[in-house]
Amino acid sequence: MPIVRIVLLLLVTLLAVASPAHAERKVALLIGNGAYKSVPALRNPGNDVALMAKTLREAGFDVVDTALDQDERSLRQTLRRFEDKAADADVGVVFYSGHGIEMNGQNYLIPVDARLSADGDVKDEAVPLDRVLEAIDRVKRLKLVILDACRDNPFLASMQRSVGQRSVGRGLARAEPASTGTLIAYAAKAGTVALDGTGANSPFTTALARHVAKPGLDIRLALGTVRDEVLSATGQRQEPFVYGSLGGSTLTLGPAEAAKPAAPAIAGLAPPVAVAPAPVQDACGYAGAHWAQAEKVDRVEFYEEHVRLFPTCPFAGFARLKIVEKTSGVAGAASASSAASQQVAALPRPLSPPAVPQTTPEAAPQQARSLTEGELTRLVQAELKRVGCDPGRADGTWNASTRSALTRFNTFAKTSLETKVAAAETLEALRSREERVCPLACATGTRASGDECLPIVCGPGQQLSSRGACVAAPKAAPAAASAAKAAPAPARSPARPATGMYDTPQAGMSCTLFGAPLVVGAASAPARPTYWCK
């Protein structure tokens, strides 16, 4: 009986070893915000989500959730539901196409119901990138966030800026994920703007769908290839960028390449000679991106992987030298340096790959060709405001205020841009300026301090003039001592009596005596004196 149990246990073990490895669990959330309510709608996000959903489903993803035109509440709820689905998955991907904004170094996704009338509204009406990272934090091997959100931000044109919130800018800010095994891929590197292109999809998403889920292709190489293709398609104007780092193992979004079964041995014949698989066409085109990641991680496993994948490419010799340094120490590296150099010199030069018919990405035309005159004017006005040459309201009308603002820009930037009409060259020149160009204009009684206007405070003995300058305060004239004493009021003469009859003469008046003895019966009484005074 014990022998039977042992045999059964061995059989179970052998079956477990012989069976294929447990498939990875891969989940994805694709968000497209295009139907904005307070700014012009975007035409690509819905198409971008559809293309990426098709790509990831064909790559074997277990969960591919899509969410379109999310307002602030629904976006947060969508992330919360996906957070539960992503728990303990091996690979988690969040793709976002729409508007984004950076404020004080923090990045936010903008829902379709956001108004962002002032910079203080960003925290209340937008969803921070950190919330997206939290949604995939429990993914075990690869956490990937892809942001096609570096477009021109139309909210900046009308956004009121408050004191203390001064770093709202175009594009997104650099992001360094704190969680291990995390990559954040931008359509354009920090502080720059991505193009929408002229097709149904943006140049960035078009390249992503071509390369990001290729079978057996490491995600770092895939994103490096996407970068090269977008740079070529946009005439070097848009450079995708990846932040974060991964370990030394190969990580793919697509399925691993299946190994071909070995040819069976035939009696009487020599065993078949192992033939190396045909190299991938233009394999050395991926070598540069892989070498850059290997140097960044600086681990021996990565250098060994580089030699294994690209044994005849230009960086293979350097990778071998790095392996010697890591495994033999500095002394061993010095002794092996010349040998490694000889290996590099002896490497065959990679031949130019044969011409392969492929779809050439459309070169993005000049930005102005895809914009109406009003849209171009509005973008120029927004950029003038950003560099401190405030044209007033960004209403898409090329008015006197806008021409005056551009004239000020020409003055302080020492340029000679056309001020009569809006032009694509004007927009590009404004976008090339990262710093304030026109000095800050402050109201009378205030002064410029950086990007703020502060009240002018005058020192002792000074006062603020009507022109807003501190001047000496006038001194009060000293009062004479004699004038300080009040002169006594003159005595007032008594009121003059009115003209009339009085018993006695009145002082200061002319009086005439009247009167006669008063006779009563036979007796007589003395006369009562009467005076008429006037």
**Share of residues in the chain with pLDDT > 90 (%):** 30
Residue 272 has pLDDT above 60, yes or no: no
Across residues 513-518, what is the average pLDDT?
58
Residue 139 has pLDDT above 90, yes or no: yes
Distance CA 87, CA 71 (A): 25
Of 94-108, 273-287, 445-459, the range with the highest mean pLDDT is: 94-108
User: For residue range 310-353, what is the model confidence (pLDDT) as tens digits?
Assistant: 887 878 888 888 888 888 754 444 444 455 445 444 444 443 44
Q: How many CA atoms lie within 13 A of 159 on its CB side?
A: 26
- pLDDT given for residue 259 in this prediction: 43
The answer to whether 248 and 299 are in contact (CB under 8 A) is yes
- pLDDT given for residue 337 in this prediction: 47
Mean pLDDT check: name the lowest of 180-184, 358-362, 424-428, 448-452.
358-362
Mean pLDDT check: name the lowest of 134-138, 150-154, 222-226.
150-154
Long-range contacts of 51-58 (CB under 8 A, 24+ apart): 51/201, 51/205, 51/206, 51/209, 52/28, 52/95, 52/205, 52/208, 52/209, 54/209, 55/208, 55/209, 55/212, 55/213, 56/26, 56/28, 56/30, 56/93, 56/213, 56/253, 58/213
Instruction: Name the token pair of 355.
Output: 């011409």
Distance CA 54, CA 205 (A): 12
Distance CA 449, CA 440 (A): 9
Mean pLDDT check: name the lowest of 85-99, 155-169, 206-220, 475-489.
475-489
Residue 65 has pLDDT above 90, yes or no: yes
Residue 120 has pLDDT above 70, yes or no: yes
Q: Give the model's confidence band at 440: pLDDT under 50 very low, under 70 low, under 90 confident, else very high.
A: confident
The answer to whether 387 and 379 are in contact (CB under 8 A) is no
Distance CA 447, CA 440 (A): 9
- pLDDT given for residue 75 in this prediction: 96
Residue 267 has pLDDT above 60, yes or no: no
Residue 262 has pLDDT above 90, yes or no: no
Across residues 402-423, what is the average pLDDT?
91
Distance CA 464, CA 470 (A): 5
Across residues 396-420, what is the average pLDDT?
91
Across residues 512-520, what is the average pLDDT?
58
- pLDDT given for residue 464 in this prediction: 81
Distance CA 9, CA 15 (A): 10
**Residue 69, amino acid:** D
Across residues 80-106, what is the average pLDDT?
93
Residues paired with residue 463 on neighbouring β-strands, in sequence order: 471
The answer to whether 59 and 255 are in contact (CB under 8 A) is yes
Residue 427 has pLDDT above 50, yes or no: yes
- pLDDT given for residue 145 in this prediction: 96
- pLDDT given for residue 363 in this prediction: 42
The residue with greater pLDDT, 274 or 34, is 34
- pLDDT given for residue 273 in this prediction: 45
Start and end residues for every CATH 3.40.50.1460 domain found in the chain: 25-256
Residue 170 has pLDDT above 70, yes or no: no
Residue 523 has pLDDT above 50, yes or no: no
3-state helix, strand, coil in the chain (%, to 5): 35, 15, 50
Q: Give the model's confidence band at 257: pLDDT under 50 very low, under 70 low, under 90 confident, else very high.
A: low
Measured in degrees and rounded to the nearest 5, phi and psi for residue 170 equal: -85, 160
Which contiguous run of DSSP H or E holds residue 142?
A: strand 142-148
Residue 55 has pLDDT above 90, yes or no: yes
| CATH 3.40.50.1460 for the 25-256 domain, yes or no | yes
Give 313's DSSP letter. S
Residue 187's SS3 state is: coil
Residue 18 has pLDDT above 70, yes or no: no
In total, the chain counts a number of residues equal to 534
- pLDDT given for residue 480 in this prediction: 52
Across residues 397-402, what is the average pLDDT?
92
Residue 374 has pLDDT above 90, yes or no: no
Residue 21 has pLDDT above 50, yes or no: no
Across residues 466-475, what is the average pLDDT?
80
Residues paired with residue 118 on neighbouring β-strands, in sequence order: 160
User: For residue range 216-233, what is the model confidence (pLDDT) as tens digits?
Assistant: 899 999 999 999 999 988
- pLDDT given for residue 253 in this prediction: 92
- pLDDT given for residue 282 in this prediction: 45
Which contiguous run of DSSP H or E holds residue 106?
A: strand 106-109
- pLDDT given for residue 326 in this prediction: 81
- pLDDT given for residue 331 in this prediction: 46
**Share of residues in the chain with pLDDT > 70 (%):** 73
- pLDDT given for residue 527 in this prediction: 56
Across residues 123-130, what is the average pLDDT?
94
- pLDDT given for residue 429 in this prediction: 87
The residue with greater pLDDT, 60 or 191, is 60
